[in-house]
Amino acid sequence: MLDSFGTPLKAVIIGSSGGIGRAFVNALALSDHVATIHALSRSGAAHPSPKVRNFAFDFLDETSVHAAAAALRDDGPFDLIIVATGLLQGAGIRPEKTMRALDLDKMQTSFAVNTFGPALTARYFLPLLARDRKAVFAALSARVGSISDNRLGGWYSYRAAKAALNMMLRTLSIETARRFKQQIVIGLHPGTVDTDLSKPFQGNVPDGKLFTPDFSARKLLDVIDQLEPDDTGYLFAWDGERVTF
Structural domains of the chain, ranges and CATH numbers in brackets: 9-243 (3.40.50.720)
Task: Please tell me the predicted confidence (pLDDT) of residue 7.
Answer: 74
Q: What are the distances in angstroms from CA 175 to CA 4, 127, 172, 242?
A: 23, 12, 5, 21
Nearest CA among 50, 27, 237, 24 for reference residue 40: 24
Of 105-109, 159-163, 198-202, 211-215, the least confident: 198-202
Among candidates 191, 179, 182, 164, which has minimal Cα distance to 232?
Answer: 182
* pLDDT for 6: 80
- Identify the pLDDT of residue 70: 97
Residue 77, preceding bond cis, omega within 30 degrees? yes
pLDDT band at 192 (very low <50, low <70, confident <90, very high): confident
pLDDT of 154: 94
Quote the CA–CA distance of 9 and 21 in Å, as a whole number.
Answer: 18
Please compute the mean of the pLDDT values over residues 106-121 and round it to a whole number: 96
Cβ proximity of 116 and 165 under 8 Å: no
> Residue 95 above 70 pLDDT?
yes
Q: Is the pLDDT of residue 38 over 70?
A: yes
Q: What is the mean pLDDT of the chain?
A: 92
Q: What angle do CA 11, 12, 15 make, to 5 degrees?
A: 145
d(C-alpha 131, C-alpha 3), whole Å = 18
